[in-house]
Amino acid sequence: MGSDAKDDLPVETATPFAKWLIMYFERLNASTPKNTWELGAQTAREWVRLIEGAPSAEEISSLMGIVQLNRRRSTAWDQMAWGVYGWAERKGYAVPSFDNFYRSPLVAPLAPPTRRLWLTKVAAALKTRLRKGLTWIWPAA
C-alpha cells in the first residue's frame, strides 16, 4: 500500500465528488448520448453506493478494475480513477501500487517493427503500386 500520488482524494470529499461525477456524466449523456457517458454515470453511482455502505473487498476490486480500464476514455473518467484509487487506499483496502494501477496495455508504446518486417512491407507495397501504375504499359494477358 501507499501511493506516490500526493493529491489523493480525501475520504471526506469522496461522496460530493462522486455525486458531481454522476451529474456531469448524465449531463453529457443528455446532450450527446454515448455509452461512455452512461457507463460513467453508472460507475459513479456504484462508487457512491460503496462509499455509503460497507463494501466487500470484491466490490472494491471490481470498481477499481472498471475505472482502471476506462480511465483513458475522458478526463472525467481519469479523475474518477484517481478518486476511487485514493479513496480505496485511504479507507484501508488493498490496492495495487500507483504505477501498476496506471499502467495500461492500451497506452504502452508500440515497439517499432523489425527492419526486415518493415522492408518486406515496403517492398510489397511498392510492388502493388508498380503493378497498378504500369498496367497501361503491360496490359494483363
Q: Which residues contact 130 (CB under 8 A, 6 or more apart)?
A: none
- Flag whether the pTM goes above 0.85: no
Residue-level pLDDT at 1: 43
48-66 CB burial, b ≥16 within 10 A, e <16: bebbeeebeeeebbebbeb
Q: Are 123 and 54 in contact (CB under 8 A)?
A: no
Per-residue pLDDT of the chain (141 residues; tens, 9 = 90+): 444 444 555 556 788 889 999 999 999 888 887 788 889 999 999 999 999 988 888 899 889 888 988 888 889 999 999 999 999 998 898 888 888 887 755 544 444 455 556 566 666 666 666 666 555 445 554
Domain-wise residue ranges, the chain: 11-102
